[in-house]
Structure 1
Amino acid sequence: MAIDPTRFCVNRKIAPGLSIESFFQLVHGLGLNKVELRNDMPGGKVTDNLSYGEVRELAQRYGLEIVTINAVYPFNQADDALLAKAEGLLKDANGVGAKALVLCPLNDGTPVSAEETISALKKLAPLFEKYGVEGLVEPLGFPISSLRSAVQAQSLIRDANVPFRLLLDTFHHHLYEKAEEEFESGIDIDNIGLVHLSGVEDTRPTAELTDEERIMLSEGDLLKSAAQVQRLERMGYKGIYALEPFSSVMEAWSAADIEREIRQSIRLLQDQAL
């Protein structure tokens, strides 16, 4: 069965050269109604130079829901500076009407214990409650990441007894060597809050892949993101799929290029779902 188009979302990372309004126009023109904003765009701010009210007005004008802001990093090193950064992004999320804020773990080769991560989740949870924003924990599959496993991330959330959910990313799932053996028996589908999708055609060893190799979905996608989506659907996932490529090649894309690539990715997913 085809996936309801209202379950597709577009991450702003695909359009680094577009203003927020142009990005919103593009997504609306594709017949989609969900977007993700970011705090790592060229302008350096989630809202560029717009006020919260202006972003809300634009979202309303184009019939869009702001699903998340990406991201608090490194959430599992919850010192005073990190908590202040998180609160600033929570103010942004609350201000623009974003439903959730993404939490990414330390990714520099430094190990972080389960106890430290649980402590960080417990420190962050009251801030999220204060601003009425959901927390989505995104494990990163890179070999140097301090939290690589989606199953472990869900376990830590449960142990912390916080109302956060998992953000599952098909790229990071592919990078983590034990992901497949853990997934079907260990994952709680009902506590996946969002799924990020991208594609990779680069044939270098998996452990050497970086964000630069992340493009849109294709027939030659080595991540098998479409097959990952098929399995999620079979297992009962009913949530949102967000297209989130990362490669710098997108800096040269026109609006027409972006539209073409989004349509192609969604068509591939829908063809596989039938």
Structure 2
Amino acid sequence: MQIGLNRIIAPSLPLYDFFSLAQRCGCSIIELRNDLTNQHPFDTKNPEEVRDQLAKYHLKVAAINAFQRFNEYTDAKKEELKSLLEYAKSLRADAIVLCPVNGVEREADGASWLERTTQSLSEYGPLFEEYGLYGYVEPLGFRASSLRTKAEAIRAIEASGYERWYRLVHDTFHHHLANEKQYFASMTNLVHLSSVASGPRHTEPTDADRILFQEDDLLATAEQAQALVNSGYRGIFSFEPFSPAVQNLDIDTLETEVKKSINQLFR
């Protein structure tokens, strides 16, 4: 089992300061993002320099997060993916996270979106094969997501013809939103962790509600993590809190809170 940090936890922190934070928290894994201010996974820095810094802090890049709207295939999207694969390869990362289109009328068009997802995975498969990297498919549990569940994702992966190059992201937030009961440990290579404070709610939780781990947790994240381990999962658990309440913490407090979350979940 490996513990990691997704850079969304401190998006304004300079890259190498983020590396240092991860190391001080006892993490061996990080996820970089291409959806921050300059939309470059490693802030336009030279990849050789970044690799040296990763070695200095004893870190590995699990994935670049994310290739958005992956199941809305176009030739331009394929070129976008190729650029992300180039970045990932230059840092010896393992994968690109694939996020589906969000904001659709699923009830009217669910079958069509599953077909489009399958086609997209089939079209991208040769690129992943060429670069020797994985695509980590992350269903978004929102009601308006074009791909809500891991069960749907597996159907598309198996039908794509490139099952060798795709795995799942299990996100405790999206697993809860989708009301999904099944765990697919053997197909999972990455788990995203966050919590949402429990209590009465009148609307569906959003990314802004996602905080570091707390025991009074609407998502039952600890139970989800344990269920995965009980099913044989021994991969990466990566903290991915989107809440501004976490992102705006001073660095010392953030470090303390991350260590507290790790101890509560895994020690």
TM-score tier (shorter) = over 0.9
Identity among equivalent pairs (%): 39
- Secondary structure of the residue that 1:113 maps to in structure 2? helix
1:89 paired to 2:84: yes
Pick from 25, 29, 35: which aligns with 1:34?
29
- Secondary structure of the residue that 1:101 maps to in structure 2? strand
Paired with 2:88 and 2:145, the residues of 1 have a C-alpha distance of 26
Counterpart contact for 2:198–2:216, Cα < 8 Å = no
Q: State the Cα distance separating 1:207 from its structure 2 match.
A: 5.2
Q: State the Cα distance separating 1:27 from its structure 2 match.
A: 1.0
Paired with 2:249 and 2:71, the residues of 1 have a C-alpha distance of 35
Q: State the Cα distance separating 1:260 from its structure 2 match.
A: 1.3
Pick from 154, 160, 173: which aligns with 1:171?
173
Distance 1:257 1:27, change over 3 A: same
For 1:255, the equivalent position in structure 2 comes to 251
Q: State the Cα distance separating 1:270 from its structure 2 match.
A: 2.3
Structure 2 residue identity aligned to 1:99: D
Paired with 1:16 and 1:27, the residues of 2 have a C-alpha distance of 13
1:222 paired to 2:209: no
TM-score (norm 2): 0.93
Q: State the Cα distance separating 1:43 from its structure 2 match.
A: 3.0
1:210 paired to 2:167: no
Counterpart contact for 1:143–1:207, Cα < 8 Å = no
For 1:232, the equivalent position in structure 2 comes to 228
For 1:133, the equivalent position in structure 2 comes to 133
TM-score (norm 1): 0.90
1:146 paired to 2:146: yes
Paired with 1:138 and 1:128, the residues of 2 have a C-alpha distance of 16
- Secondary structure of the residue that 1:223 maps to in structure 2? coil
Partner deviation per Cα, 1:15-53 (whole Å, 9 max, x = no partner): 112111001111112222111000012232111131111
Paired with 1:14 and 1:202, the residues of 2 have a C-alpha distance of 21
134-143 vs 36-45, which moves further: 36-45
Counterpart contact for 2:101–2:145, Cα < 8 Å = yes
Could you tell me which runs of 5 or more consecutive residues in structure 1 were left unpaired when the two chains were aligned.
none
Aligned structure 1 segments of 4 or more residues deviating by more than 3 angstroms: 202-207
C-alpha RMSD of matched pairs (Å): 1.6
The number of residue pairs the alignment matches comes to 260
Q: State the Cα distance separating 1:204 from its structure 2 match.
A: 5.3
- Secondary structure of the residue that 1:262 maps to in structure 2? helix
